[in-house]
Structures are given as structure tokens and as C-alpha cells.
Amino acid sequence: MFRILVADDEGIMLESIRSIIESNFKSECEIVCVKTGRAVIEQAGQFRPDIAFVDIQMPGLSGIQAIREIRKFNQTMVFIIMTAFDKFSYAQEAVNLGVMEFIMKPVNKKKILDVCVKAMHQVEEARQKISDDLKIRERLEIVVPMIESGFIYTILQEDSDPPSQRVPGNA
């Protein structure tokens, strides 16, 4: 299951993106839509989305400002910026914030689907890495005590050997 946040101040954009994602991914996604930068930040904490489609120009906080705030407490959320403004400064700031994709409006169905699939793969890879890391930690929790006790046993064995059986040069 993927949690997707869609943020745009235009209701028709929200419904279009929601409809495209729901019709193609059905029960694989849970979608929340918001219309302000402040709501993006609030939902990032409450809904905890994996993926966020964020418009740059929204009332109050801009999409870039919202992403900057979210990055303070969530480094893993995958962001896709949508904008009608072709400004280099937006793209540059987006790259600095680790945004996965920067798409121009009007967006089309194929672009939304391609970007969504790419974002889902990125989320899956991150989830797999976390799972693999946890498995390694679990194995270490089992192996480290065994190694420690083996090491202690070896030291105790060396100390219990009579002096005549000790190899010269080994204390």
C-alpha cells in the first residue's frame, strides 16, 4: 500500500490526479488531497505519505517552503513538484531538496502514471533496504554474543592451562 498526498490549490488538478492514480492503481494507494502549503506539512505528519505531488504556487506557504519544512522531519518522502512556471530557480531549489521529479502543467495521464510508477519503485527500494538492514541487525544480535562468549571461553582456557603446557612467547 502506498500513501499519496496530492497538493494543489486548483480543485480540478486535485481531482484529475486522484482519478488517474485511483483508476490505475486501485487498492494499492490511499490518497489525500490538500489545497495549501500548510496542509501539506500537517498531512506529512498525520497521514505520513510515501509520495507527494506538490504544486509550487499555493496560498500561504509555497510548495517549496512546505517541502523544506517536511525535510526537517522526513527525509524519505518522495516528492514530485508540479508547476506552470518554468523558472530555473524553482528547479534548482527542488533539486537541492531532493525532489524526484519536476513536471510542468498541464500534466497528462501518461506523465502522472510514469512518475507515479517511478516513485513507487523508489519507495519499494527504500522499504527493502530498511528490511534488509533490520535482518542484518537481528543476525548480529544473535552472532555477537556467540562470538563474545567464544572469545571469553578461549581466554579462560588459556588462563587455566598449566604453565608447562603454555607455548613459550605466549602469555
Bond from prior residue into 106 cis (ω within 30 degrees of 0)? yes
Q: Which domain holds residue 23?
A: 2-128
Q: Is residue 120 part of a domain?
A: yes
Residue 45 in any domain: the answer is: yes
- Is a pLDDT exceeding 80 seen at residue 169? no
In a domain, 11, yes or no: yes
- Any domain includes 133: no
Place of cell 500561504: 60
**pLDDT for 99 beyond 60:** yes
Q: What are phi and psi of 65, to 5 degrees?
A: -65, -40
CATH number of the domain enclosing 99: 3.40.50.2300
Share of the chain above pLDDT 70, in %: 91
Write out pLDDT tens, residues 4-62: 999 999 999 999 999 999 999 988 999 999 999 999 999 999 999 999 999 998 989 99
Q: Is it the case that residue 171 has pLDDT exceeding 60?
A: no
Domain membership of residue 165 (yes or no) is no
What integer pLDDT is reported at residue 95 of this predicted model? 79
* Whole-prediction pTM: 0.78
Residue 93 lies in a domain: yes
**Interacting residues of 77 by C-beta distance below 8 A, sequence separation 6+:** 44, 49, 50, 51, 52, 70
Q: How many domains does the structure of the chain reveal?
A: 1
The rounded Cα 7 to chain-centroid distance in angstroms is 18
